[in-house]
Structure 1
Amino acid sequence: MTEATDLSLQVGRQMLSEQVHAGLRAAIMRGDHAPGEALKPQELAREHGVSLAVVREALVRLVGEGLADRLPNRGFAVPAFSDRRWQEIAEARRAVEPVMLRMSVERGDLEWEARVRAAHHRLARTPMWSAQQGQYFSAAWSAAHYAFHRTLLEGCGNPVLMDTFDRMWTASELARRWSGHRTPGRDAAGEHQRLEQAALARDADSAVAVLAQHLTTTAAVLSGTTHDEPPEAP
């Protein structure tokens, strides 16, 4: 085998791994795989028409993102839905994200301010709920929600912390989608608006307090999650 051929095979395998990873990630986030369900490499390889090595690479990436667990002697599985797991994630977010937000408020420049304002504007104008194709959480709102929170924190200028945020966010987002219900009385839009206002006012103490309460409320919602019937369409 020539060096060029070997390189071509490596590139092809990487592309297949990217495709399988993207497909599995989307399927897990959609709820196609139940909490705790086994992700069997042999079955997935047949389903996607790829080798076991390609599937394993994709699964290892999902483990790194918090969307799969690697079980000793039992392969891979979708994370189990448990109050303890999500409370641990919430605890980690409450420990890390307020520190990042304080750094952002102190370090963020005018470009950061503009991005925060634009991200909040998009979030505020995007409907949260949708019954299209059975998805009650709007995919557009979920993307805008992530973008707003990430933009608030990226002013910290620390890529290691941002990678940590991305992983915690993905795990929390999975739990939120599994929750499948609305939260009566919660003013999420108001919480986001107060976050934007405090951050842009460069009031680090207020911004941190609002974010801490926001994360605490989210944790309480997820800890009370049930898996009954999905919500009625708006």
Structure 2
Amino acid sequence: MTASEKMYASLRAAVLDGEFEPRQALKPQELATRHGVSLAVAREVLLRLVGEGLADRRPNRGFAVPATGAERWQQIAEARSLLEPAALSLAVERGDLEWEAAVRAAYHRLAGTPFSAGGAWAEAHRLFHRALLQGCGNDVVLETFDRLWTAGELARRWSYQADPTRDAAAEHRAIEEAALARDADRAAGLLRRHVLHTVAVLR
């Protein structure tokens, strides 16, 4: 693994794990020194995080962690609330027995993983949502989901910190049950509310 890849993996994890506060400056020289890389490498890594939505580039002010209340989070959630329910409806219609098995397995993995804002639970969470949509059979939709998921990950993790009483497990269970019951309208409606809940909390 190159120095750039090591720094990218480390800094990405640190941002997602909440080691930096919203709007906190990400100073290239300071980060370069901390990670033992050149300033050019640090800037390259920061620009990569900007591309993922995990950092903002501020004109003449360097880089910073995005703010939770930014309109961008609402736009990401709105995009997901339009894309994912439609994709899930297609998955319910087109999904075969392998899709059902994958959804069931992904749900059980998520339900059996101790909750945390990041780490193993966050990955199980992503895989569950990905499994739900996999049956739609549209690679462009799935690639778009992947990009939106990464871009919205900070907001999602901050929302769990802001609303510790949220019963995400019950939301996931209801979505899984409706999808496997082949109730496309109910599954899509539950998924849409699940996605929009994050923005409501952050407001």
TM over 0.5, shorter chain: yes
Q: Distance in 1 between matches of 2:170 and 2:20?
A: 33
Q: What is the rounded CA distance, in whole Å, between the counterparts of 1:209 and 1:89 in structure 2?
A: 18
In structure 2, do the counterparts of structure 1 residues 159 and 220 end up closer, same or farther at CA, with 3 Å as the change threshold? same
Separation in structure 1 between the aligned mates of residue 51 and residue 96 of structure 2, nearest angstrom: 31
Amino acid at match of 1:189: A
* Separation of aligned partners in 1, 2:138 and 2:59: 34
> CA offsets per residue over residues 86-106 of structure 1, 9 Å max, x none?
322221211111122122222
Aligned to 1:230: none
Query: Which whole-Å CA distance do the structure 2 matches of 1:71 and 1:163 have between them?
Result: 28
Amino acid at match of 1:201: A
Percent pairwise identity: 63
Kindly name which structure, 1 or 2, has the bigger radius of gyration based on alpha carbons: 1
- The 3 A distance-change label for structure 1 pair 46 and 187 is closer
Letter in 2 for 1:100: A
Write the distance in 2 (CA, Å) between the matches of 1:16 and 1:160: 32
- Matched residue, 1:8: none
How big is the alpha-carbon RMSD for the aligned residues of Structure 1 and Structure 2? Answer: 2.1
Greater relative contact order (CA < 8 Å, ≥ 6 in sequence): 2
Q: What does the per-residue CA deviation read over 1:65-113, in whole Å, with 9 as the maximum and x for residues that have no partner?
A: 1101122232221112215333222212111111221222223232221
- In structure 2, C-alpha distance between the alignment counterparts of 1:173 and 1:29, rounded to whole Å: 7
For 2:191, give the aligned amino acid: L
Can you list the C-alpha shifts for 1:103-130, whole angstroms capped at 9, x where unaligned?
222232322211100011111222325x
> AA paired with 2:169?
A
5+ unaligned residues in a row in structure 2: which ranges?
none
Q: Does 1:76 find its partner at 2:56?
A: no
Match of 2:98 in 1: 111
Q: Check whether the contact 1:127–1:138 (CA below 8 A) recurs between aligned residues.
A: no
Letter in 1 for 2:47: V
Q: Which residue of 2 aligns with 1:229?
A: none
Q: Which residue of 1 aligns with 2:147?
A: 167
- Give SS of 2:150's match: helix
Greater mean alpha carbon deviation, residues 23-32 or residues 55-64: 55-64
Q: Deviations over 1:35-92 (max 9, x none)?
A: 1122222221121111222222211221121101122232221112215333222212
Q: Kindly state the Cα deviation for residue 23 of structure 1 after the two structures are TM-superposed.
A: 0.7
* SS of 2:57 mapped into structure 1: strand
Confirm or deny: 8 A CA contact 1:106 1:202 kept in the other structure: yes
Query: Deviation per CA, 1:115-161, whole angstroms, max 9, x where unpaired?
Result: 100011111222325xxxxxxx3633222211111111122233332
> Could you tell me which residue of structure 1 aligns to residue 13 of structure 2?
26
- Superposition TM-score, scaled by structure 2 size: 0.88
Deviations 1:150-185 (A, max 9, x none): 11112223333223222322343312333424443x
Partners of 1:70 and 1:181 in 2: CA distance: 25
Unaligned runs of 5+ in 1: 1-11, 130-136, 224-234
Query: Number of matched residues?
Result: 202
**Cα deviations by residue, 1:2-47 (Å, 9 ceiling, x for unpaired):** xxxxxxxxxx7xx222111101101101212211122222221121
Evaluate the alpha carbon distance shift between residue 47 and residue 92 of structure 1 in structure 2; reply closer, same or farther with a 3 A threshold: same
What is the identity, as a one-letter code, of the residue corresponding to 1:44? Answer: L
